[in-house]
Amino acid sequence: MSRDGEAVLIPPKDLETLVVLVESAGHIVEKGELLEKVWPGVYIEEGNLARRIFNLRQVLGESPDGSKFIETIPKRGYRFVGAVRDQGEEASSSAVASLISDQPQHVENDYKKRFWLIALGTLVIVSAIYVTLRLHPTRTASPQRVMLAVLPFENLSGSPNEDYFADGLTQEMIAQLGQVQPAKLGVIARTSTVRYKHTAEPIVQIGQELGVAYVLEGSVRRSGDRVRITAQLIQAAQQTHIWAETYERSLDDVLNIQREIAGKITTSLSIELLPAGARSDASRPVHLDSYDKYLLGLHELGRGTRESVAKAIQYFQEGIAKDPNNARLYAALSEAYEAATTYYSSPSEVMPKAKDAALKAVELDPNLANAHVKLGDARLFYDWDWSAAEKEYRLALEINPSLPDAQLGYADYLATIGRFDEALSRVQQAYLYDPLAVESRNEALWIYYFSGRMPETIDQCHKSIELEPAAGTPYAVLAIAYAQLGKHSETLQAAEEAVRVASNPSALATTASALAHVGAKTRAHQVLDQALQNAKEHYVCRYLVAAAYTELGENEEALQSLQEAFAQRST
């Protein structure tokens, strides 16, 4: 199809999802029914369906009254609420013939007619409104920068217990490529590419969704002290293979394999590698037991639960005991300690440990970007040393600007000192390299909120919810943003959704603030009490508790909570 004379492509699975919804326009389509019709006979995680809906909402935009064409029915499914018109079979034939050219000849005529009618209705709607295919329009950080995504390496070892090795190799490959020539090569973060694990989506669709020109995919098989790694570089738009290579060597040569793959990629894309001395661990030998602990820790850290973070800390500590001069282990340990503040520990408990680990990592390897990020976080969120934090974030960005944590950390610093325009520009850079990550978006919501841009905050909350409908923080921030605008009914609705899905007490405390702000003080007390009850097992930000008490007019309790917030180094 086209708009204003310019061709517009809709990924196949997005179109199939829309066809099913339009076919039942005005009626609820259960999630299970959608999954079965779009991916018949194949197990697909529900997150893939949520992403299809998110993409379609970006394409369809809003109706003239500001409502969405696709309505979410909590815990059930979705409903298409736009109007569909029959434009006639003759007109529809030319408009959608290409869409069904690959359909079997034996398909019944009435089904064909129905499909054509639905497809035409879809085209009428789509061509009448603003089109965007992904979270953000296609863009690059600079005219010369090539964008690349590393898809999750497939585990061919025959045992799910070896998944951690393939996942760790993927993450290391991303880190390696992010530093080879940061001015010319941008690399998508693992938190966005992990969604494509065990899916069969076409490379062209993945390229469109992530905004990349090239994709690296591969597999790994480990057997004893040997490893076999296959990698291939693909041009996404044409789905053409640039090169493919297989490496079968001793396990202790795995870092050299990663460097060789990085070299092949940069050569293929006519990008000159940085000198070996400027890259981390350029010639450091691999300590196999320690490397195994490192990959196990990364795997657990990526799961993002209280128990998995504790396991990750244990694995990294065990790795350090075996190889005490490994900077990557210290940087990963710092990241794990910092992650613990999200789930069950206050900053005063774990941030000193995170800071010490980051300092050791930087001492051992000054060219390790994520170590500088973690040290910057400690300086910003624990030491409250703004200038020291800025220094670390800038160093990280010089080494690897593709690192979303570096972009977001610098955005947090800029927001802290009131430079919100610059902060939000950095947020957009983080989205460029990590377009589908929920955690990154949740963190950025606070920057939008404290900038005072309530309409933008609301818009960003909706985008986060579309990516992950079960995330509590976006609903909580949505409620408080609506409250600031005085939208009473919208605040109550968002607050109840937050209470329904929120798993952390900090989100509940924010929800209580929103409720109190619009005068629903009885309900605010109930939600705040629930947050404090949950705080017996999970970390709750006492600053947010103080804000809730302030909205309730209970100043003595607010002051006490602020004192607790200061003691826990709450931010």
For 158, counting Cβ atoms within 10 Å of its Cβ (0-12 exposed, 13-18 middle, 19+ buried), the class is exposed
pLDDT (average), residues 290-299: 90
Task: Give the relative orientation of helices 521-534 and 488-501 as an angle to the nearest 10 degrees.
Answer: 20
Write the pLDDT tens digit of every residue in 179-196: 877 778 889 999 899 889
CB 380 within 8 A of CB 386: yes
The rounded mean pLDDT for the chain is: 82
pLDDT top residue among 494 and 48: 494
Is 131 a residue whose pLDDT tops 50?
A: no
CB 512 within 8 A of CB 531: yes
Lowest mean pLDDT among 16-30, 449-463, 505-519, 543-557: 16-30
Look at residue 273 in the predicted model and tell me its pLDDT: 52
pLDDT top residue among 485 and 44: 485
Buried b (16+ CB within 10 A) or exposed e, 316-353: bebbbebbeebbbbbbbbbbbbbbbbbbbbbbeebbeb
Nearest to 22 by CA among 60, 75, 73: 60
pLDDT top residue among 157 and 116: 157
Q: How far, in Å, CA of 247 to CA of 229, rounded?
A: 5
State the greatest distance between any 2 C-alpha atoms of the chain, in Å, as a whole number: 76
pLDDT (average), residues 520-530: 96
Residue 275: pLDDT band by 50, 70, 90 thresholds?
A: low
pLDDT top residue among 117 and 60: 60
Q: How many residues in the chain?
A: 571
pLDDT (average), residues 446-462: 94
Highest mean pLDDT among 128-137, 383-392, 467-476: 383-392
pLDDT top residue among 269 and 355: 355
Look at residue 138 in the predicted model and tell me its pLDDT: 37
Q: Is the dihedral of CA 236, 238, 242, 246 positive or negative?
A: positive
Q: How far, in Å, CA of 172 to CA of 297, rounded?
A: 13
pLDDT (average), residues 96-116: 41
Q: How far, in Å, CA of 372 to CA of 501, rounded?
A: 34
Task: Give the relative orientation of helices 488-501 and 505-517 as an angle to the nearest 10 degrees.
Answer: 160
pLDDT (average), residues 513-533: 96
Q: How far, in Å, CA of 571 to CA of 569, rounded?
A: 6
Look at residue 61 in the predicted model and tell me its pLDDT: 66
Q: How far, in Å, CA of 176 to CA of 273, rounded?
A: 11
Q: Where are the domains of the chain?
A: 2-127, 146-284, 470-571
Q: Which CATH number fits domain 2-127: 1.10.10.10, 3.40.30.10, 3.20.20.70, 3.40.50.300?
A: 1.10.10.10
Instruction: Give me the phi and psi of 131, to 5 degrees please.
Output: -110, 135
Q: How far, in Å, CA of 382 to CA of 520, rounded?
A: 34
Q: Are strands 146-150 and 185-187 parallel, antiparallel or unpaired?
A: parallel
Q: How far, in Å, CA of 150 to CA of 173, rounded?
A: 8
- What letter would DSSP give residue 151? P
**For the whole prediction, is pTM greater than 0.75?**
no
Q: How far, in Å, CA of 197 to CA of 378, rounded?
A: 32
Buried b (16+ CB within 10 A) or exposed e, 362-376: bebbebbbbbbbbbb
- Other CB atoms within a 10 A radius of the CB of residue 223 amount to 12
Is 440 a residue whose pLDDT tops 90?
A: no
**CATH code reported for the domain at 470-571:** 1.25.40
pLDDT over 70 for what percent of the chain? Answer: 81
CB 301 within 8 A of CB 312: yes
Write the pLDDT tens digit of every residue in 140-151: 344 457 899 999
**CATH code reported for the domain at 146-284:** 3.40.50.10610
pLDDT (average), residues 454-476: 92
Write the pLDDT tens digit of every residue in 375-432: 999 999 999 999 999 999 999 999 999 899 999 999 999 999 999 999 999 999 999 8
Buried b (16+ CB within 10 A) or exposed e, 548-562: bbbbbebeebbeebb
Q: Are strands 146-150 and 70-73 parallel, antiparallel or unpaired?
A: unpaired
| Token output for 559 | 């002051």
Nearest to 316 by CA among 300, 338, 340: 300
